A = this chain, B = another copy of it.
Amino acid sequence: MKKNVLIIGAGGVAKVVAHKCAQHNDELGRIAIASRSISKCQAIIDSVQAKGGLKQPGEIKAYVLDALDVEATKAMIRETESQIVINVGSAFLNMAVLRACIDTGAAYLDTAIHEEPNKICETPPWYGNYEWKHLAECQEKGVTAILGAGFDPGVVNAYAALAQQEYFDNIESIDILDVNAGSHGKYFATNFDPEINFREFTGQVYSWQNSQWTTNRMFEVKRTDNLPVVGEQSLYLTGHDEVHSLSKHLDVPNVRFWMSFGDHYINVFTVLNKLGLLSEQPVRTAEGLEVVPLKVVKAVLPDPASLAPGYTGKTCIGDLIKGTKDGQPRELFIYNVADHEEAYAETDSQGISYTAGVPPVAAALLVARGEWDAHRMVNVEQLPAQPFLKLLDAMGLPTRIKDERGDRAWDQ
């Protein structure tokens, strides 16, 4: 039984996390929000209070923290008596925050793999480069660390685990399909930090096919699917975190991740990428200033959080799973549909932040209750899927299944 939550980060996902923690502060206890900018933390608290505030009287406070400073983070964990840390800051912070959690015994949760600023798309499996180097230490010290507990990675890992446990004897392929059919009305914007967003697409595309790592270029492999609610969509084989853990933890020969892109996104991305403007390596201007082009692109693009008020449409994210059950071939799609406008009405945030921010709070509740307090480092597919999906049903991200029996709630 753990309580008191420290949220690290003050972006769009952190805002959703704060709203959801506030809605469950009877179980989660005190809430601390820490980032380099206290005004961004305070703005989140203002949003929480404007939307109905805490479920029961309690504390929600803003703090200044440079989370790369491990000692400062440890001091803050101790000062706030936080037993659960939800790290939804920059992906560059993970290892520093994990260190602080291991040293203080707090449970660690994040939603994306660690990255180093000057490296993209490292050797697979990606978790092996940073996170999994701490597997033994977490086990030894009994520290709970739940990696990738957002939607994708996160919920889609639970979908895969559930399918393996409940619906298949043998799985041949897991294709994770991530569609954002929403519209933000801007010429161009990314739905989360442009720096992290583009870094996903500028390197090699790793997929797990025929039980080995396969590489492609971005936008090289396309598929078209007719999906629930969002209809026909073009999706492209994309590198993504969950492929790197599912390929290890589930004995499945094919694990692929596909993301939807419109022609306009691909055009803008291609122009920027071909020109070298998405590079994470510095260039020197004629005046001698050293600057990372990708950081300038980030500076000119809309702040993803600013997209929320006008965002319309829906997301559809799920796992298309093929295999056999009782000797018969079987195929099912287990998925969620979320709505940008509903997300905004509830949490002042757009749907991409919502789908990423609700699951780590569900995970935190399961840690608080002891059900997911694993006392070791795990990916989501290593934990019981059912309590997680049940909680998400109640928290705004209901799971559905589409198969030969039709399209229905997953537990019907």
Q: Report if A187-B268 is in contact (Cβ < 8 Å); known contacts: A291-B289, A295-B286, A296-B285.
A: no
Number of copies: 2
- Contact with A300, one of B267, B268, B275 (Cβ below 8 angstroms): B275
- Is there an interface contact between A275 and B284, defined as CB atoms closer than 8 Å? no
A140 contacts chain B at the CB level, 8 A cutoff: no
Are A275 and B268 also in contact (CB < 8 A) when A293-B296, A293-B300, A300-B293 are? yes
CB distance from A216 to the nearest CB of B (A): 20
In the complex, chain B residues whose CB is within 8 Å of the CB of A286: 195, 295, 298-299
Specify the chain B residue showing the minimal Cβ separation from A193. Answer: B286
Which range contains the number of A residues in contact with the other chain?
A: 20 to 34
A277 CB within 8 Å of chain B? yes
- Report the nearest B residue to A278, measured CB to CB: B300
Is A301 in the interface zone, CB < 8 Å from B? Answer: yes
Residue A121, interface by CB 8 Å: no
Whether the pair B301, A275 counts as a contact (CB closer than 8 A) is yes
Give A298 to B287 CA distance when docked, in angstroms: 11
Verify if A345 is at the interface (C-beta below 8 Å from B): no
Interface residues of A in 263-300 (CB under 8 A from B): 267-268, 271-272, 274-277, 279, 283-287, 289, 291-293, 295-300
Report yes or no: B295 in contact with A289, Cβ–Cβ below 8 A: yes
Question: Which residues on the B side are within 8 Å of A298 (C-beta)?
Answer: 285-286
Select from chain B the residue with minimum beta-carbon distance to A277: B300
CB distance from A82 to the nearest CB of B (A): 26
**Chain B residues, Cβ within 8 Å of A300:** 275-277, 279, 283, 293
Residue of B nearest to A194 (CB): B286
Q: In the complex where A296-B291, A298-B286 touch, is A271 in contact with B268 (Cβ < 8 A)?
A: yes
Contact residue among B271, B285, B295 (Cβ-Cβ distance under 8 Å from A287): B295
Bound complex: CA of A187 vs CA of B274, how far in Å? 7
Q: Does A188 count as interface, using CB distance less than 8 angstroms?
A: yes
* Complex: A283 Cα to B188 Cα, angstroms: 18
Q: A299 contacts which chain B residues (CB < 8 A)?
A: 283-286, 291, 293
Closest Cβ of chain B to A172, distance in Å, is 40
Pick the contact of A283: B187, B271, B296 (CB < 8 A): B296
Interface centre among A195, A283, A286, A296 (most CB of B within 10 A): A296
In whole angstroms, how far apart are the Cα atoms of A298 and B272 in the complex? 13
* Complex Cα gap A269–B297 (Å): 15
A243 CB, nearest partner CB in chain B, Å? 28
Flag if B277 contacts A297 (CB, 8 Å).
yes
For A283, list chain B residues within 8 Å (CB). 296, 299-300
Q: What separation, in Å, do the CA atoms of A298 and B301 have in the docked complex?
A: 19
Residue of B nearest to A264 (CB): B271
Rounded to whole angstroms, the CA-CA distance of A268 and B271 in the bound complex is 6
Q: Is the CB of A295 within 8 A of B301?
A: no
| Nearest residue, chain B, Cβ from A273 | B187
Question: Contacts of A279 on B, CB cut-off 8 Å?
Answer: 300
Contacts of A271 in B (CB 8 A): 188, 267-268, 271-272
Write out, one digit per residue, whether chain A residues 166-188 have a CB within 8 A of any chain B CB (1) or not (0). 00000000000000000000011
**Interface residue ranges of A188-246 to B (CB < 8 Å):** 188, 195
Within the assembled complex, what's the spacing in Å between the Cα atoms of A283 and B275? 20
Q: Which residue, A268, A295, A300, has most C-beta atoms of chain B within 10 A?
A: A300
A297 touching B275 in the complex, CB below 8 Å, given contacts A267-B267, A289-B291, A291-B291:
yes
Task: Given contact pairs A285-B296, A291-B291, enumerate 20 new A-B contacts (beta carbons under 8 Å).
Answer: A187-B275, A188-B274, A267-B271, A271-B271, A272-B275, A275-B300, A276-B300, A277-B296, A277-B297, A279-B300, A283-B299, A283-B300, A285-B291, A285-B299, A286-B295, A286-B298, A286-B299, A291-B296, A291-B299, A296-B296
A residues apposed to B, CB below 8 Å: 187-188, 195, 267-268, 271-272, 274-277, 279, 283-287, 289, 291-293, 295-301
